[in-house]
């Protein structure tokens, strides 16, 4: 009988709970004993590891976040703590891990494998969608839908009050969430870190649109751009001559009821991850590509992520 543990690391996403539920069901169907590592690498070091049961995952498919917690861990960067983590796994007879996380977490796993030979399969999970080699990371669809609802609601009040709204999305250094939601919500402006911009380029166009009857603007800006959102709002007030408000969407983008797509992707990612470990693949990450699901190595998924140039052209 084999033991496999699952954990979440880095920013939580909606879709982690459906993944945990399916992990328990799928491993049990394969006669594997599933374990949960609570609170990411921190729990791995602190021996917060328990056998997972059906009861643990009952009713969690509808919930955002992660029932087993997540963390960012400074201690895991140090060999002496990774050694403690390895001993904890040894005591339970666990030699394989499924990890829901981002490229930082995968770097950590790679180091752990190099140190002690603990096998792993990573599942890309970040609302930022900024992992190289995969078209899609778990949690992105739910985050996009939350942003969509927020923008649509803000549009209602923007149009009623003749205002410009600057809506800031998450994404750290990546403009994916801003770009996709701007495109699909009909925003008048979209500013992302990957594309240089000059506000002056918008001035003539926006003033002409106001002359032609436009009464409000929606500007979607990514958190990673060099300017603060309040500076963009000030520009609308002072240069365009329209009252402006800022909405920083913040952590609401990370939570919420997982979308159907994220639930389905969680299911598929978990199948591929467990199968990789059963096939004795030592270190891999399940990626979703135009050709479907494939396994990629750490070197590839930890390369810098680049936004699709076709999408950028649409700006
Ligand atoms: N080179 C490394 N060696 C060991 N652990 C690492 C390494 N890089 C990252 N980690 C671990 O992975 C955790 C998550 O990484 P982070 O970049 O914060 O999140 P994400 O997985 O979302 O990219 C870090 O807090 C750290 O514990
Ligand atoms: O929750 P925190 O620590 O404030 O971090 C916020 C950051 O985490 C994210 O929500 C997700 O980042 P990761 O998935 O890479 O951890 C970013 O979009 C954001 O910049």
Cβ of residue 189 lying under 6 Å from some atom of ligand 2 = no
Residues of the chain with CATH 3.40.50.450: 3-139+258-303
CATH architecture of 141-254: 3-Layer(aba) Sandwich (3.40)
Q: What is the distance in A from the centroid of ligand 1 to the CA of 290? A: 27
pLDDT at 315: 84
**Can you say how many angstroms the Cα of residue 205 is from the centroid of all Cα atoms in its chain?**
34
* Consecutive H or E run containing 262: helix 260-278
Nearest CA to ligand 2 atom 13: 11
Give percent of the chain with pLDDT exceeding 70: 100
C-alpha to C-alpha distances, 237 to 88, 127, 129, 161, 234, nearest whole angstrom: 58, 32, 33, 14, 5
Tell me the CATH class for 3-139+258-303: alpha beta
ipTM of the complex as predicted: 0.96
Question: What is the reported pTM?
Answer: 0.96
Paired tokens of 284: 């891999």
Closest ligand to Cα 174: 2
Residue with tokens 């009040």: 157
Closest residue by Cα to residue 194 from 13, 315, 103: 315
- In total, the chain counts a number of residues equal to 315
How distant is the alpha carbon of residue 97 from its chain centre? 20
**How much distance in Å is there from the Cα of 97 to the middle of ligand 1?**
15
H or E, element range at 201: helix 200-211
Q: CA 307, 146, 151: angle at the middle one, nearest 5?
A: 85
Per residue in 219-274, pLDDT (tens digit) is 999 999 999 999 999 999 999 999 999 999 999 999 999 999 999 999 999 999 99
Within 6 Å (CB) of ligand 1, which residues are found? 9-11, 41, 72-73, 76-77, 101-105, 107-108, 111, 126
* Residue pair 144/14 in contact by the 8 Å Cβ criterion: no
Cα–Cα distance between 21 and 61 in angstroms, integer?
7
Q: Where in the chain is the domain with CATH 3.40.50.460?
A: 141-254
User: How do residues 145-195 score in pLDDT, each as one tens digit?
Assistant: 999 999 999 999 999 999 999 999 999 999 999 999 999 999 999 999 999
Handedness of CA 135, 139, 145, 150 (dihedral sign): negative
Could you tell me which residues are beta bridge partners of residue 34? Answer: 4
Distance 10 CA to ligand 1 centre (A): 7
Q: Sign of the C-alpha dihedral, residues 98, 102, 104, 106? A: positive
Mark out the alpha helices in 93-139 (DSSP H runs). 103-116
């Amino acid at each position: 009988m084999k033991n496999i543990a699952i954990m979440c690391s880095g920013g939580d996403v909606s879709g982690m709970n459906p993944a945990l539920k399916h992990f328990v069901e799928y491993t049990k169907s394969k006669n594997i004993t599933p374990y949960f590592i609570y609170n990411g690498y921190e729990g791995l070091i602190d021996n917060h590891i328990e056998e997972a049961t059906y009861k643990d995952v009952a009713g969690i498919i509808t919930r955002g976040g992660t029932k087993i917690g997540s963390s960012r861990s400074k201690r895991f960067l140090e060999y002496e703590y990774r050694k403690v983590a390895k001993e904890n796994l040894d005591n339970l007879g666990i030699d394989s891990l499924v990890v829901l996380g981002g490229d930082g977490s995968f770097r950590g796993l790679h180091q752990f494998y190099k140190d002690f030979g603990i096998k792993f399969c990573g599942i890309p999970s970040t609302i930022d969608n900024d992992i190289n080699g995969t078209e899609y990371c778990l949690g992105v669809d739910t985050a996009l839908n939350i942003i969509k609802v927020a923008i649509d609601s803000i549009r209602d009040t923007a149009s009623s009050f003749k205002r410009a709204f600057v809506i800031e999305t998450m994404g750290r250094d990546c403009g994916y969430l801003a770009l996709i939601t701007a495109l699909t919500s009909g925003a008048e402006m979209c500013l992302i870190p990957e594309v240089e911009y000059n506000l002056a380029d918008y001035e003539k166009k926006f003033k002409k649109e106001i002359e032609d009857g436009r009464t409000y603007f929606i500007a979607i800006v990514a958190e990673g751009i060099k300017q603060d959102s309040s500076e963009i709002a000030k520009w609308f007030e002072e240069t365009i001559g329209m009252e402006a408000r800022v909405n920083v969407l913040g952590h609401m983008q990370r939570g919420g009821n997982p979308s159907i797509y994220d639930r389905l992707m969680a299911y598929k990612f978990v199948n591929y991850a467990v199968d990789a470990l059963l096939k004795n693949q030592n270190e891999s990450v399940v990626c979703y590509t135009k050709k479907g699901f494939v396994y990629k190595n750490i070197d590839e998924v930890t390369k810098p992520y680049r936004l699709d140039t076709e999408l950028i052209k649409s700006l």
